[in-house]
A and B are shown apart, each in its own frame.
Chain A
Amino acid sequence: MLLQRFLIRLLTMAITLFGVAVVVFIVIRVAPGDPIAMMLPPGATDADIARLRALYGLDKTIVQQFFIWLSGVVRGDFGTSISLRQDVLGLVFNRLPATLELASVALVMAVAIGGTMAILGARERGTAVEAGIDIASGAALSIPDFLWGLVLILLFGVLVPVFDISGRVSPQLDLPFATQFYLFESIVRLRFDLTRDLLAHMLMPAIALALPLAAIISQLLKQSLKEVLDLDYVVLARVKGFSETQVILREALKNAALPTLTLVGVQFTFLIGGTVIVERLFSYEGLGNMAIDAVINRDLPLIQGIVLVFALLFVLINLAVDMMYALLNPRLRHG
């Protein structure tokens, strides 16, 4: 039964990814812009163009191209980047850790800020504190992440320059890392000087990405908490002598978190989408930044690879959310 559900899930994921691959493959080939034209100097002969086109397999039909590409993907070969002339998979995996670290830090910040605001707002419901939280989250939500990025650059990069506004790590530093997960490795290797430098670079883009999500969590979780706080078992907990904070943390939070969790999963995928522009804004060397370069250069194999990796990420996040939902909800677990 469980195995069957798991297999169905796996199949759905595969179909989703295939669909994404088809759509991206077609769209970037139908859209105007020619990667070959961008590679050759002006005045190249038609013969040169045709030769290069054949070299990258772009002379075949879209259907033929797709299946050539797909058979490569199945074998783990995502092709060669046209603009960087390197293996796509290698390029993507080289950049992915930076984006994952940024998105994770942003998610942790969003949950921490949003969760705290929600708990505070629910505890102080009906007071000026709750109104203040509502106003703040309204403002955080109505400003998109890239605009927050600009605001932060102006505030803490230009007016009061306390944080680094560009890159992932200070270039003069010696990096002893074996993988691209710099932040994780710096902590494991107890090189907290590097951790600090990495965080100083990461803080502003992470806040920019986190603020809208924090606002959503704050509003939704606060609403759920307020509903749960009127329920009988919460009243019973108050009669037992527990304080409002204890009641919220011990009785209400877990049940109120369920509806929020689903939405946070969806919103987290938006957050990862947001890394594309925000990474560009802060010249952060992640996958999103590379995606923009790939689009500008019409680097078809690279775009396909990046999009597919993003799609895989989204599918995995949804899977994780479903699993956490079942873990938190005993009725689902036994049902």
Chain B
Amino acid sequence: MNAPAKPCLDIRNLSAVLPNGLRVLRSVSLAVEPGEVRALVGESGAGKTMIGKAVLGVLPPSVRIVEGNMLLEGEDLGRLAPKARRTLIGARTALIPQDPLTALNPSRRIGPQMTDRLVRILGWSGEKADARIRQLLDEVQIRDPERVLKCYPHELSGGMRQRVLIAAAFAAEPRLIVADEPTTALDVTVQKQILRLIAQLQREHGTAILFVTHDLGVVAKISQKVSVLYAGKVVEEADTAALFAAPQHPYTLALMAATPRYTDPFASLKPVDDKVLAGLAAEIAAADQAWRRPHG
């Protein structure tokens, strides 16, 4: 029903403010093409998670969107009635959360937590949902689905829980998945497996992913395009390969320099240069001034 030219997700000029008037998203624009992995990278508090939450309609109540549009496969989320928006987001998107330990309900078994969207939102039959979930559990290399489906979350390891959450996210064949630092809370050894798994499922299912991370190594491995965020503003946007070959913005360069290397972990850990930060501050101030003029 949508022309193929339409991006899967189109964020246009999105601004959000806190009750004290501080802008946490500063006129963010980005588009995710169907089947594309777009990395959102930046330090803590840069607003990368906030963008994901805005798209999924789960911003904290204190954050208010004051400007801009979000189009999911051409449908303007801001113009839909709450119920229609909820159903659309439930049907076409999914979330791979940051912390698998807190993202599963401790008092419900894994099985119903995985099938509830398929059955209750998408209206699948119980058998169909069950078969689908088993197929996905197989794809995330869970070998004993029978046991896992009957488990409570506390009976599974963090890596297993993240596999379950990934399987659940892909189960409904969403067009867009928001992956919110999906490996940050895991052991380093498990991180790599999980990342590989997400990349593999993404390729096989052709799902677009908005991949939120602070880890440039992850960005290089998984994404085709990158948006670099600072203080809620996209400071650089590029193809991943191009970005790593020739970063344009001094902040991107500084971020790359700040990535630790295993050969010399301490010497390679450089904080972002004061000069770069001063430049960023000026850039943000100018952007805010320009924004405030028409918005009073």
Residues of A within 8 A of B (CB): 126, 231-233, 235-243, 246, 250-251, 254-255, 328-331, 334
Contact = CB atoms under 8 A, between A and B. Distances in A.
Interface residues on B, range: 20 to 34
Interface in B154-171: 154-155, 165
A237 to B, nearest CB: 8
Given A239-B95, A241-B86, A241-B117, A330 B154 contact: yes
B121 A232 contact: no
B268 interface: no
A255 B107 contact: yes
Chain B residues touching A, majority SS: mixed
A335 to B, nearest CB: 9
Nearest to A241: B90
B107 A328 contact: yes
B117 A240 contact: yes
Contacts of B95: 235-236, 239
A233 B90 contact: no
A330 to B, nearest CB: 4
B58 A238 contact: yes
Interface stretch (B70-78, B96-104, B211-219): B96-104
B102 A239 contact: no
Given A232-B103, A240-B94, 20 more contacts: A126-B61, A231-B102, A232-B98, A232-B99, A232-B102, A233-B104, A236-B165, A238-B86, A239-B95, A240-B90, A240-B116, A240-B117, A241-B87, A241-B117, A242-B86, A242-B90, A330-B152, A331-B152, A334-B154, A334-B155
Given A330-B152, A331-B154, A242 B105 contact: no
A246 B97 CA distance: 20
A241 B83 CA distance: 9
Contact of B86 (A243, A255, A331): A243
A240 B116 CA distance: 9
- Most A C-beta atoms less than 10 A away, residue of B61, B90, B104: B90
A255 B117 CA distance: 20
Contact of B91 (A238, A241, A242): A241
A24 B86 CA distance: 61
B152 A242 contact: no
B194 interface: no
A232 B117 contact: no
A235 B107 contact: no
